[in-house]
């Protein structure tokens, strides 16, 4: 299969899942996760109309962003160290997806302020409560919400999660629901509208769409199996 055929297939599955769950067509954005894949592969997706791409590591994004046409939009979806925040904002990334602590959020707000920007972010939530995972626990997020939502140079667009891998895509459903419910709870508390829910990857994006995802992050189902040994490659978490 070629990248354009896989993209068409995924777009079709997203439309079907939107329809099945009574959501308007086009309510879900496809983020093509290009980490570890070369610019030549990313160009194939570009030539099939894809404009939104996700990279895990800032260093890799710094190589790829300038190598791709300027109308591409980029999300950083991996953990971001505080000392790389300025570089991420300088690169012009549209959304920093995996903000996992108040400390990091405060650093992004401060640096964005210094640069005269408002930085768009998502807050990563640890929806399975595994001690080893990144992200706010739901309790922590609720406890820190007033402080987070008051940070002046941040546009907190919503929540994201990376649930533990499951054999059956349906088994991720409770985790997706927990993220959706948490967003609803925070919306009710105010003052932010939190329009985005970034959830669902290659094997479970259809289930995530049924549960209200607005951004699905799909890598291997578009580009094929990842090889972490190459030079453009990075470590996943
Ligand atoms: C790699 C990655 C993805 C894409 O995973 P696939 O299973 O290849 O679709 C999505 N989200 C994050 C945060 C990732 O690191």
DSSP letter for each residue of 154-220 = EEEEEEE--PPP-SSGGGGHHHHHHHHHHHHHHHHH-S----EEE---TTTHHHHHHTT-SEEEE-H
Task: Enumerate the β-bridge partners of residue 125.
Answer: 136
Q: Percent of the chain at pLDDT above 90?
A: 91
Minimum-distance ligand 1 atom for the alpha carbon of 221: 9
**What are 166-212's pLDDT values in tens digits?**
999 999 999 999 999 999 999 999 999 999 999 999 999 999 999 99
Q: Cβ(214)–Cβ(27) under 8 Å?
A: yes
- Nearest alpha-carbon partner for 215 in 29, 50, 54: 29
Residue to mutate, 55, 77, 205, ligand 1, most ligand atoms under 8 Å from C-beta: 77
Give nearest CA residue, ligand 1 atom 13: 77
Q: For residue 227, what pLDDT is reported? A: 82
CA distance 185 to 113: 28
Q: How far is the CA of 96 from the centre of ligand 1 (A)?
A: 15
Is 131's pLDDT higher than 70? no
Kindly report the CA angle at 197 between 129 and 115, in degrees rounded to 5? 100
């Amino acid at each position: 299969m070629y990248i354009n055929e896989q993209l068409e297939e995924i777009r079709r599955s997203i439309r079907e899942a939107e329809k099945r769950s009574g959501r308007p067509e086009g309510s879900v954005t496809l983020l093509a996760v290009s980490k570890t894949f070369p610019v030549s592969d990313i160009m194939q997706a570009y030539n099939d109309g894809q404009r939104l791409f996700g990279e895990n590591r800032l260093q890799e994004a710094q190589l790829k962003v300038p190598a791709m046409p300027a109308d591409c939009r980029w999300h950083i979806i991996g953990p971001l160290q505080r000392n790389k925040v300025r570089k991420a904002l300088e690169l012009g990334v549209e959304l920093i997806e995996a903000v996992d602590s108040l400390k990091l959020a405060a650093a992004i707000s401060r640096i964005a302020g210094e640069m005269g920007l408002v930085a768009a972010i998502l807050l990563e939530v640890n929806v399975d409560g595994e001690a080893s995972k990144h992200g706010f626990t739901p309790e922590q997020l609720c406890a820190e919400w007033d402080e987070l939502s008051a940070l002046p140079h941040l546009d907190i667009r919503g929540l994201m999660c990376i649930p533990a891998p499951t054999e059956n895509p349906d088994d991720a459903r409770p985790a997706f629901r927990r993220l959706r419910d948490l967003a609803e709870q925070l919306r009710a508390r105010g003052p932010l509208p939190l329009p985005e829910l970034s959830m669902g990857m290659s094997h479970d994006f259809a289930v995530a769409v049924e549960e209200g995802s607005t951004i699905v992050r799909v890598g291997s189902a578009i580009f094929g199996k990842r090889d972490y040994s190459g030079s453009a490659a990075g470590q996943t978490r």
